[in-house]
């Protein structure tokens, strides 16, 4: 099978981790008889340096013509001083809009070998959930303004806005995932305060009533969800929530796995084209030191195989390879515990990527 993949290395550690994800994909192609064609494009700070904009039209065109997009990370202090539309993160928001990507899928899974890296005192419980975050509306995209009011106070506002169509389409993505996993869906909102959350709750229930009566649905306020993620994370299977809440909750949940360096993500639309990236940032302070953890990028490549390229066996192969390497005692610096220093080996980004790729035989 021939597939075209656009690779956006991005900034900071982005080039290092994407190189290891590509290495794993090349091993998959060789094992299963596929042909992956990799095209490289710029976005973020490196695009600002080269083109003066965070998202060149050439990048959008290349992504649209590909079967999937693999992204490293964007941003860094070098570019933190321009106006909002000329910051690296504007490229990320822009590519989501240009490709029609409205659903962010973030699996949160604690590998058994990393239980000692989990900050919870009792990590014996199974932590394996998916957070489905709406990507194209809410406070990040609503009307906003900073101004001086009539009394001379500097004032700002951001608007959290949703319509029923936006809620319905993200709810369907979440219900479909919950149906496959078989454990139910928890919808997170702030319906005791926010009108947008009251609409959210109404529409999610309506979607279930129309097509998903076989899926158990529960509502949970976002503040309670934040507490329950720490108190009893095993109760969660699939969570669906709006943009701002999803951003915060998924970052909180990521620490249950031991490190941001372990969490992949997929941003999906209705066309099948997806953007796949680790949820961590560009970590410019360690860029070029070969200490970054490439596992989240490699697991993002596995999600790409599963969701955009319809290659379930191949995705399983990568995830199994990661499990084997961790079980053999290899760790990057972010996931090593003091108690493991005598029994595990700390390796760099390149070696961890090579070890995982070597398990794909």
222-245 average pLDDT score: 95
In the prediction, which pLDDT does 342 show?
84
Q: Is 124's pLDDT higher than 80?
A: no
- Confidence (pTM): 0.92
Matching fold, domains 1-102+264-361 and 119-257? yes
Q: Which residues contact 307 (CB under 8 A, 6 or more apart)?
A: 105, 266, 268, 274
Task: Return the C-alpha torsion angle 124, 216, 267, 77, nearest 10.
Answer: -50
Confidence of residue 123 (pLDDT cuts 50, 70, 90): low
The per-residue b/e assignment along 64-87, b for 16 or more CB within 10 angstroms, e otherwise, is eebbbbbbbbbbbeebeeeeeeeb
Contact 62, 6 (CB under 8 A): yes
pLDDT of 319 reads 97
Active site members:
140, 190, 223, 247, 251
% of the chain with per-residue pLDDT over 70: 99
Non-local CB neighbours of 87 within 8 Å, separated by 6+ positions:
54, 75, 79, 80
Give the start-end residues of each E strand in the chain: 2-10, 35-41, 68-73, 103-109, 128-134, 144-148, 154-158, 185-189, 217-221, 238-241, 264-268, 274-278, 330-331, 345-346
Domain boundaries, given as residue ranges, for the chain = 1-102+264-361, 119-257
- Alpha-carbon distance of 284 to 296, in angstroms, equals 17
Rounded to the nearest integer, the mean pLDDT of the chain is: 94
Confidence category of residue 135, pLDDT binned at 50, 70, 90: very high
What is 1-102+264-361's CATH topology? Isopropylmalate Dehydrogenase (3.40.718)
pLDDT of residue 157 exceeding 70, the answer is yes
**Model confidence over 38-86: pLDDT tens digits?**
999 999 999 999 999 999 999 999 999 999 999 999 999 999 888 888 9
Report CA-CA distances (Å) from 299 to 83, 89, 237, 332. Answer: 33, 22, 19, 15
Task: Enter the tokens of residue 17.
Answer: 């981790």
CATH T-level topology, domain 119-257: Isopropylmalate Dehydrogenase (3.40.718)
274-287 residue pLDDT tens:
999 999 999 999 99
pLDDT at residue 295 greater than cutoff 90: yes
Question: CA–CA separation, 142 vs 134, rounded Å?
Answer: 14
């Amino acid at each position: 099978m021939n597939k075209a993949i656009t690779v956006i290395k991005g900034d900071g550690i982005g080039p290092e981790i994407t190189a290891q994800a590509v290495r794993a994909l090349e091993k998959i192609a060789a094992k299963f008889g596929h042909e992956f064609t990799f095209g490289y494009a710029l976005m973020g700070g490196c695009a600002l340096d080269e083109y003066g904009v965070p998202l060149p039209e050439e990048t959008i065109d290349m992504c649209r013509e590909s079967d999937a997009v693999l992204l490293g990370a964007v941003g860094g202090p070098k570019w933190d001083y321009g106006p909002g539309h000329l910051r690296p993160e504007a490229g990320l928001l822009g590519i989501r809009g240009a490709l029609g990507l409205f659903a962010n899928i973030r699996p949160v899974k604690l590998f058994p070998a990393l239980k000692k890296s989990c900050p919870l005192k009792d990590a014996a419980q199974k932590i394996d959930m998916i957070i489905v975050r709406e990507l194209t509306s809410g406070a990040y995209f609503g009307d906003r303004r900073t101004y001086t009011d009539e009394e001379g106070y500097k004032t700002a506002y951001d608007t959290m806005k949703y319509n029923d169509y936006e809620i319905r389409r993200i709810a369907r993505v979440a219900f479909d995932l919950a149906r496959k996993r078989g454990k139910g869906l928890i919808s997170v909102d702030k319906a005791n305060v926010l009108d947008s959350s009251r609409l959210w709750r109404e529409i999610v229930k309506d979607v279930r009533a129309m097509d998903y009566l076989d899926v158990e649905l529960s509502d949970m306020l976002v503040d309670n969800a934040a507490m329950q993620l720490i108190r009893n994370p095993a109760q969660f299977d699939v969570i669906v929530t709006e943009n701002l809440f999803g951003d915060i909750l998924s970052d909180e949940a990521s620490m249950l796995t031991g490190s941001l360096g372990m969490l992949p993500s997929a941003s999906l639309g209705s066309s099948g084209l997806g953007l796949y990236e680790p949820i961590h940032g560009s970590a410019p302070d360690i860029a070029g030191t070969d200490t970054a953890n490439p596992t989240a990028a490699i697991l993002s490549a596995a999600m790409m195989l599963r969701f955009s390229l319809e290659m379930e066996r191949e995705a399983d192969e990568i995830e199994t390879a990661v499990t084997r390497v961790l079980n053999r005692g290899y760790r990057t610096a972010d996931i090593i515990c003091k108690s493991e220093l005598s029994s595990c080996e700390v390796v760099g980004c390149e070696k961890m990527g090579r070890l995982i790729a070597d398990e794909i035989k």
